[in-house]
Chain A
Amino acid sequence: MGRIVGGFATSHVLFPPTGVEDKATRVIDGMLEMRARIRALSPDVIVLAASDHLNNFSLAMQVTLAVGVADEFTTLGDSGAPAVTFQGMRDFAEGFVRFAGGREFDLVQVEEARPDHGMAIPRLVIDPKNEFRIVPVYINCNMPVPPSPSRCYRLGGALKDYVESERPAGERAVVVGAGGLSHWLCLPEQGKVAADFDEAFIDKMISGRAEELARLTTHEIELASGNGGLEATAWLFVAGALPAARGDKLYYEPIPEWISGMGGVSLSPAAA
């Protein structure tokens, strides 16, 4: 059996540091700590979950949960992240889709996508040398009917079961969720940051209580943390893959100038 050896979650944007230099430095420090911890785990595969921002999946055909199964992907090059080609892991990705099909998840297989900043920025953070194989999982909260928090958490559980029951002995998987925390994008509230909600979310993520977060409805998360706050469903995917895990807050900074609560956490699997 394989093992999920670590889970991580992080915001997936960066903006110029002008006027918020100290906060920006702490955000980057936290992201680089995440990089160091992932490297120390020596993963054979990284599952990277995030939303698409209507760059690959449009309103013409609304994809909510999908897995990148191709041998390689080239990032889109938006939001300042350089376009980079990275290796996927076809057998892992296709196997996960088949396994999840037996768990009531009909996932979309994606052969062609240009992962946008939602994945490209965290990829740049965790793998600057382009040495890891990365399986993109789309938790696409930007669709008009997004996947529910509970469903994202349970999909993480399906990933855990897949790795532990279907993957080769000794295979080490790391799961990374990217997006959030609170932000109201292109809404009258834009610039508001729900620091209390974000801090409570982080606290539950790292204290073995993420299942409580998965009981929130889409509407409750959106009301408390904005339309962009729904990106935290990628965090819940990670939490579902490491149930009852505890961990560390790597950084949290409310940055209204970036219209976002910026946060990151590290999770270690709970003892069996």
Chain B
Amino acid sequence: MTVAPYRVHKLIQELMRDPARAAAFAEDPEPAFEVFGLAEAEKALLRDGSPAALHKLGVHANLQMKYARLRLRPAGTAVPGGGPLAAYLDRLLED
């Protein structure tokens, strides 16, 4: 199985820890691609961003999910509908 070069994983890991850089990335990813020294083929697959493209590039599964969030919305934005546990919280929190 293909494993993405560390520079690809480093980009995702560093952006997810820096809300300001993540927000800038959501607006325009190209400067970050340059900073992390990505090859043209790697940039193309990350611009595509589909599960198939990220799988082809060999992005770690957990980082694929973080990358999708980086692209979809600025960091810190709430998930619509209250999150995946919303339907259960009453039962889980009751004593």
Report Cα–Cα, A121/B84, bound state, in Å.
11
| Contacts A54-B13, A54-B62, A54-B63 given; does A80 touch B82 at CB 8 Å | yes
B64 and A16 contact, CB distance less than 8 A: no
Query: Least Cβ distance of A145 to chain B in Å?
Result: 11
Interface string of B59-84 (1 = CB under 8 A from A): 11111111000000000000101111
B91 and A28 contact, CB distance less than 8 A: yes
B83 and A59 contact, CB distance less than 8 A: no
Binds A, one of B3-11, B24-32, B41-49: B3-11
Report Cα–Cα, A241/B51, bound state, in Å.
38
Chain A residues whose CB sits within 8 angstroms of the CB of B10 once the complex forms: 59-60
Report Cα–Cα, A98/B64, bound state, in Å.
36
B85 and A59 contact, CB distance less than 8 A: no
| Contacts A60-B10, A60-B13, A125-B92 given; does A54 touch B60 at CB 8 Å | yes
- From B9, B52, B65, B84, give the contact of A16 (CB < 8 A): B84
Report Cα–Cα, A185/B63, bound state, in Å.
11
B55 and A15 contact, CB distance less than 8 A: no
B84 and A79 contact, CB distance less than 8 A: yes
Query: Least Cβ distance of A37 to chain B in Å?
Result: 16
Q: Does B87 contact A (CB under 8 A)?
A: yes
Chain A residues whose CB sits within 8 angstroms of the CB of B13 once the complex forms: 54, 58-60
Q: Does A238 contact B (CB under 8 A)?
A: no
Query: Least Cβ distance of B10 to chain A in Å?
Result: 7
A79 and B83 contact, CB distance less than 8 A: yes
Give 6 A-B contacts (CB < 8 Å), ordered by A residue.
Answer: A14-B85, A16-B86, A28-B92, A80-B89, A129-B95, A186-B65
Report Cα–Cα, A186/B1, bound state, in Å.
13
Q: Does A19 contact B (CB under 8 A)?
A: no
Q: Does B18 contact A (CB under 8 A)?
A: no
Interface string of A120-158 (1 = CB under 8 A from B): 010011001100000000000010100000000000000
A80 and B86 contact, CB distance less than 8 A: yes
Query: Least Cβ distance of A72 to chain B in Å?
Result: 20
Report Cα–Cα, A28/B13, bound state, in Å.
33
Interface string of A49-68 (1 = CB under 8 A from B): 00001100011100000000
Report Cα–Cα, A228/B51, bound state, in Å.
16
Q: Does A266 contact B (CB under 8 A)?
A: no
A28 and B85 contact, CB distance less than 8 A: no
| Contacts A59-B9, A129-B95, A186-B55 given; does A17 touch B61 at CB 8 Å | no
